[in-house]
A and B are shown apart, each in its own frame.
Chain A
């Protein structure tokens, strides 16, 4: 039984803590994050997120958080066999 994780990661930005410094946007390797007109991070490329957590680690104000999707257990071997 091989487990794979399906779904899209959820990125939460707490605007009451965020100071719009742009570090998370600068460090995102997948261009998930972008700045809006006030400098706060928004997530236009959310489906590209790979959960590297560089934005969380580089956030000086603990204002961004990545939540993993729910884990679905999918039997890869059975899928391959049906093909």
Chain B
């Protein structure tokens, strides 16, 4: 594993936009540097990559990186990325979304991008809270998590992105945390090689809003807690189908009661991190689309298969 140098970062950032507007210690900067490093180590040119982002703290990321960037409407980042990927199939599209962006307002767009298997890397930054608007509870706030709208602790069942990705047909799903930065970089690097929709859920920290109300006011404490709260998946056992029995075994029907909710950053069972599942033989939608288009064109030239009204 190659190591980061800040010299690498400088080529891929817009220096006039720095420093970032994120709070000190926010994990979004770590995620941004992981994405940039993964693109660098993958050997991609700056002009081959497009970053699409929605609204929220995460949406600001597209302003700092020096790729082709789109800062789009709230929750519609996958929809814009779909159009971009179909118009320019040669581009590598990276979509960054927050948890509110991807799962609450943009849930439908995310599902249909996964269903169509659009070729993009979607990074969902999960910090359990709506950060930009003042710490309201989000779809991923764990049960018992205190936010400004759930003062006595949330009692709603948090959303399980893993089960959703499995059901909607995403070919690649990985979970990383901002504590395990080398693994995060490696997983983004792997996801960039997937033909189709590669989804990475990154567990991040919002110590300013979520941590303050849940006795983790320091960024370092909140990030360090991720080490104890997550568990690395074992690829060997996963191949044998022994791990984890919770919901990631390929035979488990994703709609049943065994698809437990994501329990959040505390409590057992520990959340698995690493490459959770990968489906082989996935084909990018844009490739299928253009193949179909050629097929129709060829048929028309022969005068077949066209309904003459």
Closest chain A CB from B39 CB (angstroms): 15
Let me know if B6 and A21 touch, CB within 8 A: no
Let me know if B181 and A58 touch, CB within 8 A: yes
Let me know if B24 and A19 touch, CB within 8 A: yes
Q: Which residue of B lies closest to A62 (CB)?
A: B9
Number of interface residues of A (CB under 8 A): 21
Let me know if A57 and B4 touch, CB within 8 A: yes
Let me know if A17 and B18 touch, CB within 8 A: yes
Given A60-B25, A60-B28, A62-B13, A23-B5 contact (CB < 8 Å): no
Question: Using a CB-CB cutoff of 8 Å, which residues 1-60 of chain B contact chain A?
Answer: 3-7, 9-10, 13, 18-20, 22-30, 33
A34 at the interface (CB under 8 A from B): no
Let me know if B220 and A22 touch, CB within 8 A: yes
Let me know if A60 and B6 touch, CB within 8 A: no
Let me know if A19 and B4 touch, CB within 8 A: no
- The total of Cβ contacts below 8 Å across the A-B interface reads 69
Q: Which of A16, A20, A53, A57 contacts B24 (CB 8 A)?
A: A20
A59 at the interface (CB under 8 A from B): yes
A-side contacts of B10, CB under 8 Å: 62
Q: How far is the CA of A56 from the CA of B9 in the complex (A)?
A: 11
Q: Which residue of B lies closest to A64 (CB)?
A: B6
Could you say which interface size class chain B belongs to? 20 to 34
Q: Which residue of A lies closest to B220 (CB)?
A: A26
Closest chain B CB from A13 CB (angstroms): 11
**A64-78 interface bits toward B, Cβ cutoff 8 Å, 1 = contact, 0 = none:** 111000000000000
A-side contacts of B220, CB under 8 Å: 21-23, 26-27
Q: Which residue of A lies closest to B10 (CB)?
A: A62
Closest chain A CB from B205 CB (angstroms): 10
Q: Which residue of A lies closest to B224 (CB)?
A: A26
Q: How far is the CA of A58 from the CA of B28 in the complex (A)?
A: 11
B-side contacts of A56, CB under 8 Å: 3-6
Let me know if B22 and A60 touch, CB within 8 A: yes
B247 at the interface (CB under 8 A from A): no
B216 at the interface (CB under 8 A from A): no
Question: Using a CB-CB cutoff of 8 Å, which residues 2-61 of chain A contact chain B?
Answer: 16-17, 19-23, 26-27, 53, 56-61
B-side contacts of A17, CB under 8 Å: 18-19
B-side contacts of A60, CB under 8 Å: 20, 22, 24-30, 33
B192 at the interface (CB under 8 A from A): no
Closest chain B CB from A39 CB (angstroms): 9
Let me know if A23 and B181 touch, CB within 8 A: no
Given A57-B181, A58-B181, A65-B6, A19-B19 contact (CB < 8 Å): yes
A: residues with CB less than 8 A from B are: 16-17, 19-23, 26-27, 53, 56-66
Listed A/B pairs (18) with beta-carbon separation below 8 Å: A17-B19, A19-B19, A22-B220, A23-B219, A56-B3, A57-B181, A58-B30, A58-B223, A59-B29, A60-B22, A60-B25, A60-B26, A60-B28, A60-B29, A60-B30, A60-B33, A61-B29, A62-B13
Known contacts A22-B219, A27-B220; 14 additional CB pairs below 8 A are A19-B24, A21-B219, A21-B220, A22-B218, A22-B220, A23-B219, A26-B224, A53-B4, A56-B3, A56-B5, A56-B6, A60-B24, A62-B10, A62-B33
